Amino acid sequence: MNSRQPVLSARGLRKEYGRGAALVRAVNDVSLEVAPGESVAIVGPSGCGKSTLLYLLGGLERPTAGTLELAQHRIEQMPETGLARLRRRALGFVFQAFHLVDELTALENVELPALLSGVSPRKARERAAQLLEQVGLEDRAEHLPSALSGGQRQRVAIARALANGPAVVLADEPTGNLDSSATTEVLRLFEQLHADGQTLVVVTHDERIAATADRLISMRDGRFVDETRLTGGSARSLTEMAGLKG
């Protein structure tokens, strides 16, 4: 892959719900390019369409119009099966509600994407253990999600998002359900991922997270209304930029 080519790009993206007078344009003519290793934060008030945009970028929803390219593959018309296969290797998701499987341990949750990709159980387990270590939860590997704090659950979810070494990690309000201490844990993790060159697209209304990105895009009523390239980017400590110590 050419390192200068965007890993994720959208042109004229639109998503509509309803018809006639009830028509709602959740995403309206949005264009975006994300370079490899770049961290992009999309901010805006609740209901402005940022989560819908993230689901569109991840191929979890189909756009009404526009084009989408992920890892050099056009995905807006791609059949579900092809899309699922591409998602396995190119995308990692982090959700606000964590979406961990309740009856699986932290380790089993993290190895799940690798197993779904057909990786051998032994390799999947090794990779999951390594990722849990990376997020600082090696001692919680055998714990069920119900036995973990909110911050720990989200760190497990982040480890799971990295299981197949994705080209892009899409995060939907990753700190939305966390207190400030847990937010710090997650911010540190994103900082580390960014420093390692992981491409990140984070949807948030938390300005502290937004401040850590290379690029900040503001969204309102389904449209991009402002875009700011943050000068510090990954050169500075993300937690420091966000005003969080600790």
Residues 74-93 vs another protein: string with x where CB under 8 A?
------xx--xx-xxx---x
Return the residues of window 28-67 that contact another protein according to CB under 8 A: 51-52, 55, 58, 60-61
Q: Is 99 in the site for another protein (CB under 8 A)?
A: yes
Residue 111 makes contact with another protein by CB under 8 A: yes
Contacts for 196 with CB less than 8 Å, ≥ 6 apart = none
Q: What is the DSSP string of the chain?
A: --TTS-SEEEEEEEEEES-GGG-EEEEEEEEEEE-TT-EEEEE--TTSSHHHHHHHHTTSS--SEEEEEETTEE-SS--HHHHHHHHHHHEEEE-TT----TTS-HHHHHHHHHHHTT--HHHHHHHHHHHHHHTT-GGGTT--GGGS-HHHHHHHHHHHHTTT--SEEEEESTTTT--HHHHHHHHHHHHHHHHTT-EEEEEES-HHHHTTSSEEEEEETTEEEEEEE-SSGGGS-HHHHTT---
Considering the complex, what minimum distance in angstroms separates the CB of residue 105 from another protein? 8
Q: How many residues lie near another protein (CB under 8 A)? A: 36
- Nearer to another protein by Cβ, of 4 and 122: the residue is 122
Tokens in use for 98?
């964590």
Residue 39 vs 164, nearer CB to another protein = 164
Q: Using the minimum distance from each CB to another protein, give the nearer residue, 35 or 115.
A: 115
Provide the minimum distance between the beta carbon of 104 and another protein in the complex, in angstroms, as a whole number: 7
CB of 119 to another protein, least distance (A): 10
Question: Which residues within the stretch 113-142 sit at the binding site for another protein (CB under 8 A)?
Answer: 113, 115-118, 121, 124-125
Structure-block tokens of residue 56:
């569109």
> Which is nearer to another protein, 52 or 212 (by Cβ)?
52
Our finding on whether 173 is near another protein (CB under 8 A) is no
Q: Does 164 bind another protein (CB under 8 A)?
A: yes
Residue from 35, 104, 141, 230 in contact with another protein (CB under 8 A)? 104
Give contact residues for another protein (rule: CB under 8 A). 51-52, 55, 58, 60-61, 80-81, 84-85, 87-89, 93, 95, 97, 99, 101-104, 108, 111-113, 115-118, 121, 124-125, 144, 146, 160, 164
